Amino acid sequence: MSSARRAAAEAWAFRARVEQDAALRFERLAKVVAGFDPDSPVPAMMHRAADDERRHTELCARLAERLGLPVALEADAELASIAPRSLDERKAALYEVVAACCITETESMATLTTLLAGEQEPEVREVLHGISRDEVVHSRMGWAHLSRESATAEVAFLGPLVPGMLAGTIDTGLFGEPPADEDPEGLLRLGVLPLSKKRDVFLGTLEQVVFPGLEKLGVDAEPARQWLARVAGQR
Amino acid sequence: MHFKKLFQVLVLGGAVLGAAAGCAQANAADKDKKPPADAGTTDSSGGGVKGW
């Protein structure tokens, strides 16, 4: 098996697990948000997003298997909250929505649009297209929820917590050297960004989309900027 | 394009969606509300969500 095919199989298998976790998270958060903001469109969006993510899980797992790596997913998986214990229910929900949607789903959209600007094998491209249509909504629902909360509740508490969200989002290898046998062209054709491109997309998305978005909606992004400068500066 | 368009589509588009429905209610009781049983990880500083 080529290095690109092996790495792509691992990436799609990882994505299958990420999508499964997202489905569980959105189902749980939909109920919590509906409890304190019944007029919000976000819970309904989250229920639909959970369905999307279950479909994405299947797509990603099928692709990983076609590339040579069968994926074993837990049928009765559970997912705990990632919010700090000190937060009350409403703030914990906001923390998790910002981490999952405003940061991670926004980063995923940037990755997808970058990939789709290139060329892939037909089956891979079809999957990328299908997923990207849904991920737009998944990112938006995070910004929608933050927008609603910023209008009526205190959201500034998030500022110092964003570095923790970011630290939990990245792979430790993101700012390291690529594998010696990395095949950038082969990876792109199989729907995976080479490491240097992945890093560029991650940084660009934070600096030009996520941080300005947080600031627009009342969250100080300076602690996150300082965290990023420290982590990226260690390259 | 890319990042500027993403900002417009995702951030601004999302904010418009959020504002389109009735306003969220400030809930004074939230201040005293205890976290749910499953709220929070063992890491008291919080965590993040892995993505693509």
Per-10-residue mean pLDDT, chain A, length 235 = 92 96 96 96 97 97 96 84 95 98 97 96 96 96 97 94 96 91 96 97 97 98 96 77
Residue type, B12: L
Q: Which tokens sit at A49? A: 């997003």
pTM to 2 decimal places: 0.92
Q: Give contacts of B 10-49 with A, CB under 8 A.
A: 10-11, 13-15, 17-27, 30-36, 38-41, 43-49
Q: Is residue A131 within 8 Å of residue A116, measured between CB atoms?
A: no
A6 alpha-carbon distance from chain centroid: 22
Report pLDDT for B37: 45
Query: Is the Cβ of A53 closer than 8 Å to some Cβ of chain B?
Result: no
Cα separation, A109 vs A186, in Å, equals: 21
Q: Dihedral of the CA atoms A171, A121, A107, A178 (nearest 10)?
A: 30
Query: What value, to the nearest 5°, has the Cα angle with vertex A109 and ends A115 and A178?
Result: 50
Per DSSP, A160 falls in state G
Per DSSP, A188 falls in state H
Query: Is the Cβ of A132 closer than 8 Å to some Cβ of chain B?
Result: no
Find the closest chain B residue to A136 by CA distance.
B10
Report pLDDT for B40: 46
